[in-house]
Chains A and B, each alone.
Chain A
Amino acid sequence: MTDHSEIDSVTGRATTGHEWDGIKELNTPLPRWWVICFYLTIVWAVAYWVVYPAWPLISSNTTGLFGYSSRADVAVELANLEKIRGDKMAALGTASLADIEKDPALLALARAKGKTVFGDNCAPCHGSGAAGAKGFPNLNDDDWLWGGTLDQIMQTIQFGARSGHAKTHEGQMLAFGKDGVLKPEEIVTVANYVRSLSGLSTRKGYDAAKGEKIFVDNCVACHGDGGKGNQELGAPNLTDKIWLYGSDEAVLIETIGNGRAGVMPAWEGRLDPATIKAMAVYVHSLGGGK
């Protein structure tokens, strides 16, 4: 390539040799220090590739001379954290649930730990303040499907409900309509009967005696006499003011017709025993615990 650069007569500086419509460009190279820094960064990058994990391979990546991995770093930090918390968490692990709640220091620890773990694991369904949502129970109130004592709460967290775990809570609301057990008009009648149990208004012209008969024939097996519920089976109390899916006639018709079977996952194996304990204490201390 021919070098067309020349010395500009006005400034006395060299040009780049490019010319556009008679306009020539002065050659203003990057400062030397800048260029040196630039090359240094390239050298740095190459060194970095060699020393640290850098390039993706087909199923893994280059590990680098130091064998560094951020995952291993996290593991070390977590292990250190465990070491720091070791004594306290061990105390949490050995104390009984009732004792934890009686000891102010352990209670504070369990509540703090429980709150964090709850936020990470339970909040997606139950809400960050455990206020629940439709189909997901509010854990602040005193209405419990599977029991609200410390042990019962812990059992529910450990094994879940309809979670597939061997020890899980079984039992579900059957689909009386879909399975053809009750006819649509019978469902409407019994829905109104259920509403009357907790003092809610009923549809005009509804036959209370018929409703009671349908209820006794089909529902008391799980929900008990008078619809007081059965925590062994997770059958809710139908006489109180709290409704998991809602108390409208339409919602009740849907519930009776199609059944309900919400799932609570089992946390045993995913969380360590001390953490599950802390969570049980936390949930119990929200205010509704028995």
Chain B
Amino acid sequence: MNKTVNPKDLTPVDDNGPLYAARKKVYPQSVSGTFRRIKWGLMAFCLGVYYFLPFVRWNRGLGAPSQAVLIDLPNSRFYFFFIELWPQEVYYFTGLLIVAAVALFLMNSVGGRIWCGYLCPQTVWTDLFYAVERLVEGDRRERMRKDKSAGTLTIKRASEIGLKHAIWLMIAWWTGGAWVLYFNDAPTLVKELLTFQAPMIAYSWIGILTATTYVLAGYMREQVCTYMCPWPRIQAALTDEWALNVTYRYDRGEKRTSVKKAAELRALGEQVGDCVDCYQCVAVCPTGIDIRNGPQLECIQCGLCIDACDNVMTKIGRPKRLIGYDNDINIHRRQEGKPPVYRIVRARTVVYSAIIAAVGGIMIYTLATRSLLDVNVLHDRNPVAVKLSDGSIRNAYTVRLLNKSGYDRVIAIDADGPVNSTIHVVGVDSVTPDRPMIVVPRDSTSELRLLVTAPADNNPEKSIPVHFHVTDIGLGEVASTTDNFVAP
């Protein structure tokens, strides 16, 4: 009974044919089922987050932006809920990118192209655009028929096309509109956009993203995944034999014949497959491929063929999941009469998880312990040192104080230069002459000109180090740095 069956032979590749293949338009049919429901849910979630996140408020106190997620380019700040990043902390994004990349690898080694099938913006928006197309123009067969008779343009047909593109453009416009809200206070910008008082740059970006969304999701669709995206190639190199992928279980499917014939053959005890060659899996596929030919570059693994096939299997009274998340190992095991094995914990999944945990841990640790007070010192280069009339030597420094916290600070500055040297900050008449104090406003930097003067009888022979300490006199927080004192 358990005779080995092989998948249908593939058509051999014509090596002499042209390298260019014209696109065959895809007309995916609507389908219902588990994976379709998951996809609707994830689409609603992803689009919901994208469109409404800019409107989420977060109280950071007076004078600070109250938007939870904001990229403030003019003031060069990035806000994410309780986190505020300065340009020099951009390395957190590097960490984020590493985590994102490895998470992609992990997804891939567990369940194939989960990202491509469910979460990638290209998939989500294309799915949405297909839904609009279906709503306005009808399902697969209707659309194919209408496209075929494109020569005879009736008013009804023209209005249909017009409506479809209008809805597409509206969605695309919203996509660009939501994008710019991440760069400015959302409610204010919405008001400005509606009254045509928003900055030109906002309209430009909305225009650019409207165009890309409209073209990528309305016209290019699966070609983006097949020809433009590097991920299908990369993931093919990253996968292994244990990774679960959307798979046609040919151990159950070959050979294909009609329901009636299959029943007759089965009665005679012959090997026959559950697949009845109904082409439902092909009809629903958004990339227009036949999953029964095995794993393919074009397959984004959205699972819609699983739903289509399950519906048919239920109707003809055969077990579901003729197409399902599986791998070749299990197909062979079933052919040998062994139970399938699913191995999630493997060397690569463990390593990927460890990398994610390590990078994530480092990021969280450094973020939690980073200093909110910092000081940079730059020695004057021209002149390096100045001789004063009494013979004493003066060095000048540009001191930059960084107050990254949400409150103003009173900062005291100490510098231990040569013996008996004095320090002075230009523009600050301090009560304590040797310890100038200044107020650094919240979330800002202050640049000061600091002079260190060594008396004539204590001129250092050579360059000696000077340690600068800045102290928040309220909290006792200290930041330090070192520069040099130079004699002429």
Contacts and interface: CB of A to CB of B under 8 A. Distances in A.
Contact of B427 (A102, A130, A241, A288): A102
A138 B388 CA distance: 10
B426 A287 contact: yes
Interface of B: 380-383, 386-391, 394, 396, 426-427, 438, 446-447, 449, 451, 456
A240 B383 contact: no
A104 B446 contact: yes
A129 B380 CA distance: 9
B200 to A, nearest CB: 16
B300 to A, nearest CB: 42
Given A129-B380, A131-B382, A237 B396 contact: no
Given A285-B427, A286-B396, A287-B451, A141 B387 contact: yes
Chain A, interface residues (CB within 8 Å), range: 20 to 34
Given A131-B382, A287-B394, A287-B396, A142 B427 contact: no
A274 B388 CA distance: 29
Contacts of A130: 383
A108 interface: yes
Interface in A111-162: 111, 127-131, 138, 140-143
Contacts of B456: 241
Nearest to B391: A241
Interface string A230-243: 00000001001110
Contacts of B389: 141-143, 237, 240-242
Contacts of A104: 427, 438, 446
A266 interface: no
Contacts of A128: 382
B388 A129 contact: no
Contacts, number: 60
Contacts of A107: 426-427
Contacts of A285: 426-427, 449
A287 B447 contact: no
B383 A138 contact: yes
Contacts of A287: 386, 394, 396, 426, 449, 451
Nearest to A284: B426
Contacts of B396: 140, 286-287
The 9 closest A-B pairs by CB, nearest first: A129-B382, A240-B389, A131-B383, A140-B386, A143-B389, A241-B391, A285-B426, A107-B427, A287-B451
B388 A142 contact: yes
Contacts of B381: 129
A130 B386 CA distance: 11
Contacts of A288: 386, 388
Contacts of B382: 127-129, 131
B388 A108 contact: no
A101 interface: yes
Given A111-B449, A241-B390, A242-B388, 18 more contacts: A101-B427, A104-B438, A104-B446, A107-B427, A108-B447, A129-B380, A129-B383, A131-B383, A131-B386, A138-B383, A140-B396, A141-B388, A142-B388, A241-B387, A241-B391, A241-B456, A285-B449, A287-B449
Contacts of B388: 141-143, 241-242, 288
Contact of A138 (B380, B386, B446): B386
A108 B446 CA distance: 9
Contacts of B447: 108
Nearest to A239: B389
Contacts of A237: 389
B225 to A, nearest CB: 37
Contacts of A240: 389-390
Contacts of B446: 104
Nearest to B395: A287
Q: Which of B387, B389, B438 neighbours the largest number of chain A CB atoms within 10 Å of its CB?
A: B389
A61 to B, nearest CB: 35
Contacts of B438: 104
Contacts of A131: 382-383, 386
A140 B427 contact: no
B383 A140 contact: yes
A128 B386 CA distance: 14
Q: Which of A131, A142, A237, A287 neighbours the largest number of chain B CB atoms within 10 Å of its CB?
A: A287
B431 to A, nearest CB: 15
B486 to A, nearest CB: 13
A264 B454 CA distance: 31
Given A286-B396, A287-B394, A287-B396, A141 B427 contact: no
